[in-house]
Amino acid sequence: MNNQLSGMRKAQEREMLPEVDLFPQVEYAGRKIDSAKFGPNTYSTNIDSMRKKYFHSKDLPNVTFKPLSTAESLAVVCYDFANLAKPQIFNPNWLQAGRILRTQDGVWANLPLDKEGKLITDENVLKTYLPKAQKIKVGTGHIYLGDNDFGFAENETFARGVQDCDTFVKGGLARVLEHTSEQVAKNFETIADRKNYIEGVNVLAFNPVKESFLRVVSLYSGRSVSSSRLIVLGNDWGDSDGGYALGGLVSGEASA
């Protein structure tokens, strides 16, 4: 007797995707952002992880992500900061908020891409974007805010080292990272509030440099018992130190 049943419909193989949790949805620049954290790992590795496929729910069974800009990352983490991002990211590790270019004249954030999809790091090319950007007087210098969260903060627009929250959020670095034309970087103000960081903010590794170089700006909590400061660090190479990066949802399949 033939034990094989003719006409059987073979089950299709299916890809079992790793699960991913999403942060609460936030609105930024008139659109909604669904995001997830990746890490702790180097920034380059975290970006590679974002491009893989994940399962979230029956409505989002097959999703991928792309790195958020510094401004988008700040919009996500400031939502219920004390109960979500601070204990999950800032206290145990740090947030890799996005890439910056440090130069002799200042700090560039959220760099545009060339025709091949690579970050533009040539300062002469970047300066051609400034005439089209919004120019704002800050301190004795200016900040520039362009499209797609692109921005530039001249060295004269922000203080370095230990400072109170009020000084930091009114400075050019905070406003360019948050990409805001307001006089105060509101999301940074929420994060660096005294109830979260009673000793203020410490801006490290943002001194002028003779030769420009690409870095990742990292945010984290002071580690010592006597310290309770928000650290804003501009010296993460992106492929050597481990932290968390935020990816924004870019694709997904609706449930059948």
Question: In this predicted structure, what is the pLDDT of residue 254?
Answer: 42
Angle at 119 between CA 116 and CA 123, to 5 degrees: 120
For the segment 53-70, what is each residue's pLDDT rounded down to a tens digit?
A: 999 999 999 999 999 999
pLDDT for res 239? 81
Closest among 114, 104, 103, 30 to 71, alpha carbons compared? 30
pLDDT at residue 1 is higher than 80: no
Residue 5 has pLDDT above 80, yes or no: no
As a whole number, mean pLDDT of residues 80-97 equals 95
Q: What is the model's pLDDT at position 155?
A: 98
pLDDT at 13: 75
Residue 157: burial class (beta carbons within 10 Å; 0-12, 13-18, 19+): buried
Residues with Cβ within 8 Å of 208's Cβ and at least 6 positions away in sequence, in order, are 103, 104, 105, 106, 155
d(CA 59, CA 79): 23
- The residue type found at 15 is E
Q: Using the predicted structure, report yes or no on whether residue 202 has a pLDDT greater than 60.
A: yes
The domain segmentation of the chain, as residue ranges, is: 26-251
Q: Which residues pair with 251 in a beta bridge?
A: 64
Residue 222 CA to residue 201 CA, distance in Å, equals 9
Q: What is the pLDDT, as a whole number, of residue 4?
A: 54
pLDDT in tens, 31-46: 999 999 999 999 999 9
pLDDT in tens, 232-252: 999 988 787 789 999 999 976
Cβ–Cβ under 8 Å, residues 98 and 109: yes
pLDDT band at 256 (very low <50, low <70, confident <90, very high): very low
Helix (H, G, I), strand (E, B) or coil at 112: coil
Place of tokens 């002799």: 104
Token pair in block for residue 199: 């000793």
Q: Residues 89-106: what's their mean pLDDT?
A: 96
